[in-house]
């Protein structure tokens, strides 16, 4: 809009200036023609009333006393030339003649003679940036024979039109300034109306989430283009919500399938040795065997061990799938942590703290599970044949949190395994289901805490659990 306003203003200004110049040119041409006609009528009257014979040689005497009268009445310089282009008489005062008036060139005489109107106007530019029009025409006697050549020099004075052009441009500039300001306001209002809707759509797109319910936009009356964009966005929200539901359902089904596979795999492992034990016992069973009681005892112990393994698997998956509700109470974190370490017999476990008491609202059973799982993993991360073993449990307190660090000098965690360390079912050990860290991470996050780890292969790992202190 601003470009069109500026462009149209410039175009109108250029056209107006051209128009003023064209009008000035037409005005001077018409004025010269009128003046020339009036002078020729005046000359005809003088010729009709003179007593001199109408001959070219008598033109000097006929107009000797009348040429200045003609010049003053019509306010123009008047020159008479004979038919050969020689100056006969001029109205120009003698003291004003700074140089001799030149004769008419043969070329001009020829053009004048060949012109249909027997009239010729030549325009020349002057040093003061004005134009001088010189008119040549024939003066005829009563028998319409050429008597002499009338020459009228006419200097164009365009001050009036120039002043009119300046006044017009001044007024037009004022109008343009007002129109430009109005255009700015209209452009701002229109663009604000358009960009407001687009900004709303942009903001909605930025916060659009796959796993959340996204808010739709309201259609705006009278704005078809924006409404088409809003409709597309709302359709996208519906499609996205439908896709999210399908994706969530697919993920749940996939998770249950994976869980079922893992449970089946873990239960199938002890079933094979149980089957082999029963088949072996059937083949070798002998009532008269003196060692039958001992063999029966071994058989029973084997089955009980495998049953315990299956029970452990089922319990682990049950704990992961259905965490018990929090039974929060005010507990001493230091005391609970020390008590959790009492079940371990390893002498290389060391507990460090500078705090005698750290009281907070927490479930003691879940805190015990956090400590025992982290310590158990630390012990298992140290190879059995390693000479120097060390597991350090460090408990500290900050302004609003308590921090539990469990460090070991085991084999560390490789870079490729670091990204999966908290994922369910992931384990680097020969035994276990890989649910311990996933369970304690779930517990810690339920308390708005965080758990991280630092590791170096061959030197050990440190797990850091940071939990808020609540009273």
Q: Which percentage of the chain shows pLDDT scores above 90?
A: 14
What integer pLDDT is reported at residue 333 of this predicted model?
92
Give the pLDDT score at 232. 79
> Is the pLDDT score of 74 beyond 80?
yes
Same-domain check for residues 149 and 259: no
Q: Tell me what pLDDT residue 96 has.
A: 46
SS3 324: coil
| pLDDT tier at 97, thresholds 50, 70, 90 | very low
Bridge partners for 137 per DSSP: 119, 150
Q: What is the pLDDT of residues 396-422, one digit of tens each?
A: 998 889 999 999 999 988 877 777 777
Q: How many domains does the chain have?
A: 3
For residue 181, is it within any domain?
no
Q: Which residues pair with 360 in a beta bridge?
A: 331
Report the first-to-last Cα separation within the chain, whole angstroms. Answer: 65
Count the neighbouring beta carbons within 10 Å of the beta carbon of residue 305. 13
35 in Cβ contact with 154 (< 8 Å): yes
Domain housing 120: 2-163
Query: Domain for residue 176, yes or no?
Result: no
| Angle, alpha carbons 464-466-468 (nearest 5°) | 170
Instruction: Assess whether 223 and 307 both reside in one domain.
Output: yes
Confidence at residue 409, expressed as pLDDT on a 0 to 100 scale:
93
What's the Rg (C-alpha) of the chain? 58
Q: Which of 265, 299, 322 is the last residue of a domain?
A: 322
Please state at what angle helix 159-207 crosses helix 224-284, rounded to 10 degrees: 20
Regarding whether 106 and 30 lie in a shared domain, the answer is yes
Same domain, 115 and 231: no
Residue of higher predicted confidence among 388 and 129: 388
The verdict on 279 and 345 lying in the same domain is no
At 6, the pLDDT band (50, 70, 90 cuts) reads: confident
Residue 339 predicted with pLDDT over 80: yes
Residue predicted with more confidence, 54 or 269: 54
| Cα–Cα distance for residue pair 309/298, rounded to 1 Å | 17
Where residue 215 falls among pLDDT bands split at 50, 70, 90? low
Residue 438 has pLDDT above 90, yes or no: no
Confidence check: pLDDT of 95 > 50: no
- Asked whether residue 278 falls in the same domain as residue 335, the answer is no
In a domain, 177, yes or no: no
Q: Specify the CATH number for the domain of residue 416.
A: 3.30.565.10
Q: Rounded distance, CA 238 to CA 219, Å? A: 16
In this predicted model, what pLDDT tens digit does every residue of 439-451 receive, in sequence order?
788 888 889 999 9
Highest mean pLDDT among 19-23, 254-258, 364-368, 450-454: 450-454
Model confidence at 131: pLDDT above 90: no
pLDDT tens digits, one per residue of 98-118: 457 788 888 988 988 888 888
Mean pLDDT of 61-84: 87
**Nearest 5°: CA angle at 32, between 28 and 36?**
170
Q: In this structure, is residue 199 part of a structural domain?
A: no
- Clarify whether residues 346 and 448 are in a common domain: yes
285 and 402 assigned to the same domain: no
In this predicted model, what pLDDT tens digit does every residue of 136-165 receive, in sequence order? 999 888 888 888 999 988 887 766 667 777
């Amino acid at each position: 809009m601003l470009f069109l306003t500026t462009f149209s203003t410039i175009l109108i200004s250029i056209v107006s200036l051209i128009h003023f110049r064209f009008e000035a040119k037409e005005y001077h041409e018409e004025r010269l023609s009128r003046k020339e006609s009036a002078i020729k009528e005046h000359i005809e009257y003088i010729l009709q009333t003179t007593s001199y014979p109408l001959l070219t040689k008598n033109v000097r005497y006929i107009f000797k006393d009348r040429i200045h009268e003609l010049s003053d009445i019509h306010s123009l310089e008047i020159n008479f030339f004979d038919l050969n282009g020689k100056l006969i008489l001029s109205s120009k005062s003698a003291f004003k003649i700074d140089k001799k008036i030149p004769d008419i060139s043969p070329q001009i005489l020829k053009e004048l003679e060949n012109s249909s109107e027997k009239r010729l106007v030549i325009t020349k530019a002057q040093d003061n940036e004005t134009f001088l029009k010189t008119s040549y025409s024939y003066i005829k006697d009563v028998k319409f024979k050429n008597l002499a050549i009338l020459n009228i020099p006419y200097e164009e004075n365009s001050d009036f039109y120039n002043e009119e052009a300046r006044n017009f441009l001044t007024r037009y500039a004022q109008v343009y300034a007002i129109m430009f300001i109005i255009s700015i306001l209209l452009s701002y209002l229109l663009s604000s109306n358009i960009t407001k809707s687009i900004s709303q759509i942009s903001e909605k797109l930025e916060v659009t989430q796959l796993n959340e319910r996204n808010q739709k936009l309201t259609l705006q009356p009278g704005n078809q283009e924006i409404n088409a964009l809003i409709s597309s966005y709302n359709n996208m929200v519906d499609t996205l919500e439908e896709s999210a539901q399908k994706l969530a359902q697919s993920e749940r089904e996939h998770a249950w399938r994976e869980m079922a596979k893992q449970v089946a795999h873990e239960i199938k492992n002890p079933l094979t040795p149980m089957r082999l034990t029963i088949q072996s016992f059937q083949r070798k069973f002998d009532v008269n065997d003196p060692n039958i009681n001992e063999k029966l005892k071994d058989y029973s112990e084997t089955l009980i061990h495998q049953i315990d393994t299956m029970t452990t698997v089922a319990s682990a998956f049950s704990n992961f799938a259905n965490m018990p509700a929090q039974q929060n109470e005010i507990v001493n974190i230091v005391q609970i942590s020390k008590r959790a370490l009492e079940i371990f017999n390893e002498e290389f476990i060391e507990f460090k703290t500078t705090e005698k008491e750290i009281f907070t609202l927490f479930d003691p059973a879940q805190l015990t599970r956090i400590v025992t799982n982290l310590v158990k993993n630390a012990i298992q991360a140290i190879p059995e044949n390693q000479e120097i073993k060390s597991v350090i449990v460090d408990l500290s307190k900050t302004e609003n949190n308590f921090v539990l660090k469990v460090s070991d000098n085991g084999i560390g965690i490789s870079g490729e395994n670091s990204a999966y360390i908290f994922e369910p079912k992931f384990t680097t050990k020969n035994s276990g289901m890989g649910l311990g860290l996933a369970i304690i991470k779930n517990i810690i996050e339920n308390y708005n805490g965080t758990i991280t780890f630092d590791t170096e292969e061959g030197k050990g790992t440190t797990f850091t659990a940071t939990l808020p202190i609540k009273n």
